[in-house]
């Protein structure tokens, strides 16, 4: 309510005599504490944060969590459907999960291969099993995997047309896609800070010029612009070069929105008394921006950064999907989905779409996390 005396703000002015401990804690809290307290009430946002944290850890230690390396081919297991671990068969139940035996037979009417599950065969799943060698975090030589199987192979999410384990590859892709998002957002933020900060702090003709530039970047359709930049990657570039070029491309297109926000905030703040006071006492522009202006709207910027993630992830996926982004052997969500470009893929091997679930879950998580943080970042706003 915006009206007369129905507004809750007025009614909740502090009581002088009987100020509770809680109220005192509230008034003396720093901005980040306030945000944290409010965020803790936002269940959905927390769920998003938790999922993202899990994804990040799974991606970081992908070689440990996945039973195989991303390029291991199992020639006898091409386009295998996802295998669900079981605990029970006719012999009874056990704590140790196992994979049932599978027999494949050609159906003579449809001429399709049909698989039958043979529950009497028990292939036990072992934890912390020794398997392929890898370097954890690229440093520690190890060969222990979280789980694995001794006879045959285990493919929780199935395999692709080359017999590669989709579960292991999806974890590796999570690392690539999330890290590209993170680097993209960081570079975009630095660009936005420099460009938007210059425009907002100095104003005038410089501001006008920068405003025009941001407007131009904003009116060109985003994905076609990305594509144009990505199309310029030389074919002979290594996958590492393409990876870094991609982060740069994502950042180059992602900065204007952030820059506008920073500029707007700076323009409104630079007239504040405390900023003028700082200027009068001889502080230079960079000190004023870093010391006095940035902290005043840092929380908003963090929210903006979180909100810009989904766009980076979706853009990377889309570009790689059409073949203009990352290229094999790099594994990312978009690269994995290249295998699933046709309707035939849905019919024959729908599990090839499992990486898309990762994209959806990650984007949803970032969105709800962003919403939660945005609600929390307005600490003095009284909830209705």
136 HSE (CA, 13 A, CB side) = 13
Distance CA 270, CA 295 (A): 13
Extended strands (E) in 80-112: 86-89, 92-106
CB 321 → other proteins: shortest distance, Å?
6
Is 341 one of the binding residues for other proteins (CB under 8 A)?
A: yes
Is 114 one of the binding residues for other proteins (CB under 8 A)?
A: no
CB 138 → other proteins: shortest distance, Å?
30
Distance CA 324, CA 316 (A): 9
- Compose the 115-154 pattern: x for residues touching other proteins by CB under 8 A, - for all others: ----------------------------------------
| Complex with other proteins: residue 227 or 269, whichever CB lies closer | 227
| Complex with other proteins: residue 13 or 30, whichever CB lies closer | 13
| Complex with other proteins: residue 71 or 360, whichever CB lies closer | 360
Is 249 one of the binding residues for other proteins (CB under 8 A)?
A: no
Window 13 to 52, contacts with other proteins (CB under 8 A): 13-18
Is 79 one of the binding residues for other proteins (CB under 8 A)?
A: no
And the tokens for 273?
């008394």
Is 232 one of the binding residues for other proteins (CB under 8 A)?
A: yes
And the tokens for 86?
């079981």
| Complex with other proteins: residue 144 or 367, whichever CB lies closer | 367
Is 248 one of the binding residues for other proteins (CB under 8 A)?
A: no
Which residue from 275, 335, 368, 376 is in contact with other proteins, where contact means CB under 8 A?
368
Q: Which helix (H) or strand (E) covers residue 133, if one does?
A: strand 113-136
Distance CA 162, CA 78 (A): 6
Q: Segment near other proteins (CB under 8 A), from 11-19, 29-37, 265-273, 290-298?
A: 11-19
Tell me 261's DSSP state.
Answer: H
- Pairing between strand 86-89 and 113-136? unpaired
Distance CA 306, CA 185 (A): 9
> Please, are residues 242 and 331 in contact by the beta-carbon 8 Å criterion?
no
> Please, are residues 82 and 162 in contact by the beta-carbon 8 Å criterion?
no
**What Å distances lie between residue 324 and 52, 226, 235, 321, CA to CA?**
26, 9, 11, 8
Q: Segment near other proteins (CB under 8 A), from 7-15, 60-68, 95-103, 261-269?
A: 7-15
Is 323 one of the binding residues for other proteins (CB under 8 A)?
A: yes
Tell me 15's DSSP state.
Answer: P
Which residue from 215, 287, 348, 381 is in contact with other proteins, where contact means CB under 8 A?
215
> Please, are residues 139 and 117 in contact by the beta-carbon 8 Å criterion?
no
Q: Which residues bind other proteins (CB under 8 A)?
A: 1-6, 8, 10-18, 212-213, 215-225, 227-232, 234, 310, 314, 317-318, 321-324, 337, 340-343, 345-347, 353, 356, 359-360, 363-364, 367-368, 383-384
């Amino acid at each position: 309510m915006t009206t007369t005396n129905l507004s809750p703000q007025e009614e909740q002015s502090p009581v002088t005599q009987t100020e509770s401990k809680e109220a005192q804690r509230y008034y003396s809290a720093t901005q980040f504490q306030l945000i944290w307290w409010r965020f803790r009430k936002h269940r959905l946002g927390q769920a998003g944060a938790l999922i993202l944290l899990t994804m990040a850890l799974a991606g970081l230690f992908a070689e440990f969590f996945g039973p195989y390396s991303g390029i291991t081919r199992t020639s006898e297991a091409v386009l295998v459907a996802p295998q669900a671990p079981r605990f029970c068969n006719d012999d009874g139940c056990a704590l140790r999960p196992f994979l049932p035996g599978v027999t494949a037979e050609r159906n003579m009417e449809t001429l399709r291969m049909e698989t039958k599950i043979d529950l009497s065969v028990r292939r036990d799943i072992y934890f912390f099993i020794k398997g392929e060698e890898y370097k954890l975090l690229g440093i520690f030589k190890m060969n222990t995997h979280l789980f694995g199987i001794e006879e045959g192979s285990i493919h929780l999410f199935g395999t692709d047309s080359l017999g590669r384990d989709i579960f292991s590859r999806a974890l590796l892709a999570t690392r690539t896609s999330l890290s590209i998002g993170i680097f993209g957002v960081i570079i975009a933020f630095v660009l936005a800070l420099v460009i938007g900060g210059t425009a907002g702090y100095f104003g005038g003709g410089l501001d006008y010029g920068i405003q025009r530039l941001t407007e131009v970047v904003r009116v060109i359709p985003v994905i076609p612009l990305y594509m144009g930049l990505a199309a310029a990657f030389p074919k002979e570039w290594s996958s590492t070069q393409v990876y870094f070029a991609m982060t740069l491309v994502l950042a180059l297109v992602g900065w204007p929105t952030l820059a506008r926000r920073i500029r707007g905030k700076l323009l409104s703040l630079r007239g504040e008394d405390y900023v003028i006071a700082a200027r009068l006492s001889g502080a230079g522009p960079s000190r004023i921006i870093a010391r006095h202006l940035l902290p005043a709207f840092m929380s908003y910027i963090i929210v903006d950064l979180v909100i810009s993630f989904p766009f980076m992830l979706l853009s990377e996926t889309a570009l790689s999907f059409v073949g203009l982004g990352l290229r094999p052997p790099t594994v990312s969500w978009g690269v994995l989905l290249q295998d699933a470009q046709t309707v035939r893929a849905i019919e024959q091997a729908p599990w090839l779409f499992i990486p898309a679930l990762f994209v959806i879950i990650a984007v949803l998580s970032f969105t709800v996390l962003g919403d939660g943080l945005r609600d929390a970042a307005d600490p003095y706003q009284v909830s209705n």
